[in-house]
Amino acid sequence: MAMTDSCTRLAVGGDKLDMLTDLPINVIHQIQDHLSIEDAAKMSVLSRAWRYVWASNPELVFDARFCTKRTPSDTIDIISTILFQHHGAIKTFLLDISIIPSSQYSVVDRWMLFLSRNGLANLTLQNQNNGNAPYKLPSYVYGVGLERLALLNCIFRTPCSFRGFHMLKRIHLKRFAFELDVAHSSLWMPNLKILCFMYCSGLRFFNIHAPELSILFLHSCGTLKLSFFMECEKLRILGFTSQEDVSQNRQDNAMNLTNFLSCWHNVSYLILGRYFLKVLASGTRAESLPTRLTNLRSLYFIRYNFDGEDQIFALLRILRSCPNLKILQFLSSQGKKGDMEVDVNYFEEPDCAEPGFNNLQTLRISKFYGSRTELRFVRFILGSAPLLRKAILLVDSSINESQSLKISKELMRFPRASPKSEIVFEPRKKLF
């Protein structure tokens, strides 16, 4: 039987097609995408018409569940067999290489070579195992017209001639090292919309030009060179966070953040880690930021510390610069429940009289301790946000019932600027 017959349309079985076989090929492939590789592969022995149906599915997913089921060498054999039996383009390829020992990475290289010649557009490589050596992307991958790239624990060593992925729309890199042959490299990615880097090193050697970028998220990426994002005028969602406090000498880079925000005037959604909030808004508290973030609607703080004096300054400064803010969230506020000697009177000083939240609708603190500073802050918001609908305060599990009762009594007494405001005060559900 000729292969081509069955790959274009399943008409081989004669006139008497059953309903499943009669489905359009794109629907059959979509159904197989919801099956395990084993179940999908099994379908190739249903009947003659099914012989090459699965082998022509442009999506191949070898996830951790599949790869950890058997010994590494069996897994490698099976993946090789499936790849070389495949018929037609493989557009989407996901592989978990965690169980493949680094001595055998050359096999993965060979798969990559095969894929690079078979229409690859979406590539995901996961290397979850911390002990496993990072996988170095082979040079031929850089010649592929990738649209999506997601890599975990890999090395990027670009060939000198590499100018960037021109078709790339999304890039997600985690625990990733950039290595370069030349001192500096410029990558031109005219179609890039989403860039998300976590725990990446070697970024400072790179210039990324992505004029269409709309989502940028950087987490614990050490030294940032933000200048290459300056031209990204279409940025809408922005996140800068880090695991630990970045040392002082790196401040120069992050300091620029303040200036950059004036270039990114379309940002409507901003996520800031503790350190970045501090450097973004450092300065005397009387000043507001040099630029007003008029399009900003949602502001999220990660690991915010209500007990830090500099954090309060920074918070006030940034709030004053966001006149159209609708949602303010503290995702995992940090710190002891004890009352530090923070001068909580900041909230009542004259320069606070003009708060920027005439449009604020939601305040949410997802780990609320009820400390003096926190309470003053909530009172400040309740008293000055005329359109506030909800203040959601999720009490940390370390606060016992009687303490929490005391806090709620105090909360109820706070004057409210918005007649429609509702306070939701409840225990935080444990997620993990």
Partner 1 sequence: MASSTTGEKKILTLKGGDNEEFILEESLVLQSELLKNMVKEERVSSIPLPSIKSKTLVKIIEYLKKHAELTPSNKEEFKNFEKEFVNVVLEELLDITVAVNYLKINGLLEFCCQAVADRIKDKSVEAVRKIFRIESDFTPEEESEFRKETPEAFEGDLDDTTN
CB of 40 to partner 1, least distance (A): 8
Residue pair 122/144 in contact by the 8 Å Cβ criterion: no
Among 3, 9, 11, 35, which residue sits at the site for partner 1 (rule: CB under 8 A)? 35
Residue pair 154/125 in contact by the 8 Å Cβ criterion: yes
| Residues sharing a CB contact under 8 Å with residue 171, sequence separation 6 or more, in sequence order | 148, 149, 150, 165, 189, 192, 194, 195, 196
Residues 54-113 that bind partner 1 (CB under 8 A): 78, 81, 85
Q: How many CB atoms lie within 10 A of CB 226?
A: 18
Among 5, 7, 23, 266, which residue sits at the site for partner 1 (rule: CB under 8 A)? 23
Among 2, 15, 45, 106, which residue sits at the site for partner 1 (rule: CB under 8 A)? 45
Q: Is 146 in the site for partner 1 (CB under 8 A)?
A: no
Residue pair 382/391 in contact by the 8 Å Cβ criterion: yes
Coil, helix or strand for 88? coil
For partner 1, give the closer residue by CB, 20 or 423.
Answer: 20
Among 43, 89, 177, 327, which residue sits at the site for partner 1 (rule: CB under 8 A)? 43
CB of 420 to partner 1, least distance (A): 18
CB of 327 to partner 1, least distance (A): 15
Residue pair 281/313 in contact by the 8 Å Cβ criterion: yes
Q: How many CB atoms lie within 10 A of CB 39?
A: 11
Q: Is 410 in the site for partner 1 (CB under 8 A)?
A: no
| Residue recorded with tokens 């950890």 | 68
- Which amino acid type is present at position 300? Y
CB of 91 to partner 1, least distance (A): 17
Among 32, 153, 242, 288, which residue sits at the site for partner 1 (rule: CB under 8 A)? 32
- Which amino acid type is present at position 233? E
Q: Is 422 in the site for partner 1 (CB under 8 A)?
A: no
Q: Is 10 in the site for partner 1 (CB under 8 A)?
A: no
Q: Is 6 in the site for partner 1 (CB under 8 A)?
A: no
- 269 pairs with which residues across the strands? 237, 298
For partner 1, give the closer residue by CB, 48 or 148.
Answer: 48
Q: Is 349 in the site for partner 1 (CB under 8 A)?
A: no
Q: Is 292 left (phi over 0), alpha (psi -120 to 50) or beta?
A: beta
- Which amino acid type is present at position 160? C
Q: Which stretch binds partner 1 (CB under 8 A): 24-32, 171-179, 312-320, 350-358?
A: 24-32
Dist. CA 278–CA 315, nearest whole Å: 8
CB of 54 to partner 1, least distance (A): 9
CB of 332 to partner 1, least distance (A): 23
Query: Which among 41, 60, 61 has a CA at the least distance from the CA of 51?
Result: 41
CB of 75 to partner 1, least distance (A): 9
User: Where does this chain bind partner 1 (CB under 8 A)?
Assistant: 13, 16, 18-21, 23-24, 26-27, 30-39, 41-48, 50-51, 78, 81, 85
